[in-house]
Amino acid sequence: MGGGSSVIREKRVVIVGCGYAGANMAKLLMGKCKVTIIDSREYFHHCIGSLRASVEPGFENKILVPFAQAWGDSFKQGKVETVDPEKNVVILETGEEIPYDYVVIATGSSGPFPGKLGLNVITIEDAKTHFKKIQEQIKAADKITIIGAGAVGVEMAGEIAVDYPKKEVTVVTNAENVVNGPFKDKLRDSIKKQLTDLGVKLVFDETVANLSELPKDGSSPCVVKTNKGTEINTDLVIVCIGMSSNCDAYKEYFADCMDDYNNLKVNQYLQVEGYSNVFAIGDCNDATSPKMALKAEGQSEIVAKNIKALETKGSLSPYKELTSIISVSIGRNGGATQLKAAIMGSFFTKKLKSNDMMYGKFWSLLNQKAPH
Ligand SMILES: Cc1cc2nc3c(=O)[nH]c(=O)nc-3n(C[C@H](O)[C@H](O)[C@H](O)COP(=O)(O)OP(=O)(O)OC[C@H]3O[C@@H](n4cnc5c(N)ncnc54)[C@H](O)[C@@H]3O)c2cc1C
């Protein structure tokens, strides 16, 4: 936070949620003010590596980073029941109240496993059990259908196709292309080519019509049916669509500040509309699309500056959305990356991300040595 930080030394900042946004926020504020960081889980879930951990046995050990060794007593494990902006307290499920001068809401988003783990998966052991189970299911299945061709769906297909070249992998999407969003067609073309070269079948512009009836736990074979009459015999269905913001902690007092997707509405300084001392960062706010860890980290930097500015009567910094940046891995050696106007292929993407899914960075962020 630089000079003037003594002014904020006595200020109590509570960070609700310790994903990419919250963890980076904690790193920026730790030692500069009185920080409490709260998460319902006992571990940081590096979900960027989840799809590798669904296929490669042992990789699950690299993407679950314990909070216990990260920040000592500044970390508190527990579900936040509500943030009360009238009393300026965060209230835990246990009834414990934690007062704040500033609160940073970073409760992120949920989606289907294996991209995300359920919020009820509290212990590392439980999380590991989930990954070991899907590793076995993928190994046992001959025909796998992935629903959704966003970055998560295509990365899932790539992980399976690279490690199990004989399996029949099909990706079904109602979109007309892979990885929709503000990206160049050259990026999409590269991803499509890499997947089809691996034997992955891509079905575009078709909606799965029997989604609610499909077994999502791999318990039995099924037929995936689309609105256009396509039928795909499948041993295992993996759903890679349907993210939503985790709003349990704020829906009580901030209902008027939520959009239709349960995101908290923030102003350009990332303050929740109508509150100068309540910030929201990462997937749970309405500032970004598509939502990304990279942007969540950038937002924490803006909020660190703005808390200081509020205490020192400085000017607030606006958040500027990063667009045209994405890195999509296709197995551990492939993928494509867009950095502004430039599209890079497998060689660059392997170095940046695919080789190890960047897991080491997050062990460092949480002050620990990464396992090999
Ligand atoms: C499979 C996959 C791959 C991805 N790959 C990339 C990538 O390569 N690059 C990229 O930039 N982005 C990627 N993303 C997107 C990225 O993961 C998200 O944008 C990122 O997780 C957002 O971080 P966050 O901190 O806002 O939320 P989250 O990571 O969702 O963290 C939220 C935290 O809040 C906690 N929490 C929630 N509610 C409560 C509560 N009531 N009380 C206490 N704690 C609570 C949760 O336990 C969790 O730890 C990927 C996403 C997925 C699913």
Per-residue model confidence as pLDDT tens digits over 155-182: 999 999 999 999 999 999 999 999 999 9
Tell me the pLDDT tens digit for each residue of 178-199: 999 999 999 999 999 999 999 9
Q: How far is CA 159 from the centre of its chain?
A: 18
Half-sphere exposure of 279 (CA within 13 A, CB side): 32
Q: Are 8 and 307 contacting, i.e. CB atoms less than 8 angstroms apart?
A: yes
Report whether residue 366 contacts ligand 1, using a CB cutoff of 6 Å.
no
pTM score, two decimals? 0.97
Residue 255 has pLDDT above 90, yes or no: yes
Taking phi over 0 as left and psi of -120 to 50 as alpha, with beta for the rest, 2 belongs to left
108-133: average pLDDT = 98
Distance 245 CA to ligand 1 centre (A): 10
Distance 337 CA to ligand 1 centre (A): 20
End-to-end C-alpha distance for the chain, whole angstroms: 33
The pLDDT, as a whole number, for residue 1 is 55
Percent of the chain, pLDDT > 70?
98
Burial class (CB in 10 A: 0-12, 13-18, 19+), 251: middle
CA distance 35 to 100: 9
Q: Report the mean per-residue pLDDT for the chain.
A: 96
Torsion of CA 352, 239, 119, 272, to 10 degrees: 70
73 confidence band (pLDDT: 50, 70, 90): very high
Report whether residue 106 contacts ligand 1, using a CB cutoff of 6 Å.
yes
Helices (H) and strands (E) in the chain, counts: 8, 21
Nearest by Cα to 298 from 317, 278, 272, 314: 317
Q: How far is CA 224 from the centre of its chain?
A: 27
Buried (b) or exposed (e) across 117-147, using 16+ Cβ within 10 A? Answer: beeebbebeebbebbeebbebbeebeebbbb
Distance 209 CA to ligand 1 centre (A): 28
- Nearest-atom number in ligand 1 for the CA of 20 is 25
Nearest by Cα to 290 from 161, 159, 152: 152
Report whether residue 285 contacts ligand 1, using a CB cutoff of 6 Å.
no
Distance 121 CA to ligand 1 centre (A): 14
* CB within 8 Å of 3: residues ≥ 6 apart: none
Burial class (CB in 10 A: 0-12, 13-18, 19+), 74: middle
Report whether residue 294 contacts ligand 1, using a CB cutoff of 6 Å.
yes
348 confidence band (pLDDT: 50, 70, 90): very high
Q: Are 250 and 105 contacting, i.e. CB atoms less than 8 angstroms apart?
A: yes
5 confidence band (pLDDT: 50, 70, 90): low
Residue nearest atom 19 in ligand 1 by C-alpha distance: 292
Residue nearest atom 6 in ligand 1 by C-alpha distance: 48
Instruction: Identify the three-state secondary structure at position 120.
Output: coil
Token digits for 82?
């509500």
Check the CA dihedral 349-350-352-355 and report its sign.
Answer: positive
The pLDDT, as a whole number, for residue 218 is 80
Q: Are 29 and 75 contacting, i.e. CB atoms less than 8 angstroms apart?
A: no
The pLDDT, as a whole number, for residue 219 is 82
Half-sphere exposure of 163 (CA within 13 A, CB side): 19
Residue nearest atom 53 in ligand 1 by C-alpha distance: 115
Residue type, 12: R
CA distance 360 to 368: 9
* CB within 8 Å of 353: residues ≥ 6 apart: 48, 327, 329, 335, 337
Percent of the chain, pLDDT > 90?
95
Report whether residue 370 contacts ligand 1, using a CB cutoff of 6 Å.
no
- Nearest-atom number in ligand 1 for the CA of 249 is 41
- Nearest-atom number in ligand 1 for the CA of 358 is 8
CA distance 124 to 140: 24
Alpha helices in the chain (DSSP H): 20-29, 50-53, 124-140, 151-163, 185-197, 293-312, 346-349, 359-365
Residue 3 has pLDDT above 70, yes or no: no
80-108: average pLDDT = 98
Report whether residue 42 contacts ligand 1, using a CB cutoff of 6 Å.
no
Distance 327 CA to ligand 1 centre (A): 16
The pLDDT, as a whole number, for residue 323 is 80
Give the residue carrying structure tokens 């867009």: 338
The pLDDT, as a whole number, for residue 322 is 82
